[in-house]
């Protein structure tokens, strides 16, 4: 009678290894992609010209940089108005509502888990395109960084009309300049983090491709075989 073979540690590890299935879904509409890439282009133009106006370096000259910066700023504000209307009209504004569900798990994942090759704690769906940390990051951009830059930028742009706007002549421009510069550095930090996060998809370019085509591979389900052969499914 043949003796039963005991499972080795290697076969046990193989049995408990997560298996993943993916499917491609249409996640980002044409307007979302247009808004995303146009906004990115305008922000990059404003960053380059803004820091030249600030005196950080010299590329195209102060006067040219100022004109381009002002035109890009007006274009960005116009785009933001249309984007806000679209988000509220379609209900997509709900994508940015903050949630504490799996927030701690996301913090752990980005600090430790991602470097250990651990499973992503959330799953992308049409109803939830952003994970809890992404929601907080984008909401901070929309409610803090962007308003600060727009408000201080407009005060800069209409500096010669302050009296007509009811702003006291003795009001100093220094605090406005400081806030605008602080907002610019926060925006640079946000952009660097955003670009880095695009590389954390299934492949390095997966997230970039999805924002070009609108289609993204998302996890259908993940499962592993636990103790006593029980199947454990994680979303």
Residue 72 included in any domain? yes
Average pLDDT value over all residues in the chain: 82
pTM: 0.76
Q: Rounded mean pLDDT of 100-110?
A: 88
Bridge partners for 218 per DSSP: 23
Total domains in the fold of the chain: 1
Do the domain assignments include residue 46? yes
* Spatial contact of 95 and 135, defined as CB atoms under 8 Å apart: yes
**pLDDT tens for residues 132-174?**
888 988 998 999 999 999 999 998 888 877 777 777 766 778 8
The answer to the question of residue 34 being in a domain is yes
- pLDDT given for residue 213 in this prediction: 93
Asked whether residue 215 is assigned to any structural domain, the reply reads no
Q: Please say whether the beta carbons of 114 and 200 come within 8 A.
A: yes
The whole-number pLDDT of residue 46 equals 93
pLDDT of residue 44: 95
Q: How far apart are CA 95 and CA 131, in angstroms?
A: 9
Residue 52 lies in a domain: yes
- Is 38 within a domain? yes
Q: What percent of the chain has pLDDT over 90?
A: 38
Q: What is the DSSP string of 20-59?
A: EEEEEEE-S-HHHHHHHHHHHHHHHHHHHHHHHHTTS--S
Nearest to 176 by CA among 150, 139, 137, 199: 150
What is the per-residue pLDDT across 42-100, written as a single tens digit (0 to 9) for each?
999 999 999 998 888 898 899 999 999 999 999 999 999 999 999 999 999 898 988 88
Name the residue among 103, 97, 83, 95 with its Cα closest to residue 129.
Answer: 95
Structural domain span for residue 51 = 30-90
Asked whether residue 86 is assigned to any structural domain, the reply reads yes
- 137 in a domain, yes or no? no
- What residues contact 152, with CB distance under 8 A and at least 6 apart? 176, 177, 179, 180, 183
């Amino acid at each position: 009678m043949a003796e039963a073979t005991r499972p080795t540690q290697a076969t046990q590890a193989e049995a408990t290894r997560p298996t993943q299935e993916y499917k491609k879904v249409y996640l980002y509409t044409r307007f979302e992609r247009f808004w995303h890439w146009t906004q990115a282009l305008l922000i990059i133009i404003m960053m380059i010209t803004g820091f030249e106006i600030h005196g950080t370096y010299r590329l195209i000259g102060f006067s040219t940089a100022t004109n381009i910066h002002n035109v890009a700023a007006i274009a960005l504000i116009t785009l933001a108005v249309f984007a806000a209307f679209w988000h509220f009209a379609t209900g997509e504004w709900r994508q940015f509502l903050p949630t504490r569900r799996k927030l701690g798990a996301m913090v752990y994942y980005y600090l430790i888990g991602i470097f250990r090759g651990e499973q992503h704690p959330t799953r992308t769906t049409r109803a939830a395109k952003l994970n809890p940390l992404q929601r907080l990051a984008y909401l901070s951009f929309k409610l803090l960084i962007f308003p600060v830059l727009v408000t201080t930028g407009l005060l800069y742009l209409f500096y010669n009309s302050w009296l007509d706007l009811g702003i006291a002549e003795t009001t100093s421009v220094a605090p406005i300049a400081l806030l605008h510069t602080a907002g610019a550095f926060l925006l640079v930090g946000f952009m660097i983090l955003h670009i880095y996060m695009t590389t954390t998809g299934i492949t390095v370019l997966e997230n970039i491709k999805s924002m070009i085509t609108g289609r993204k591979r998302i996890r259908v389900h993940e499962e592993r075989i636990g103790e006593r052969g029980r199947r454990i499914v994680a979303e």
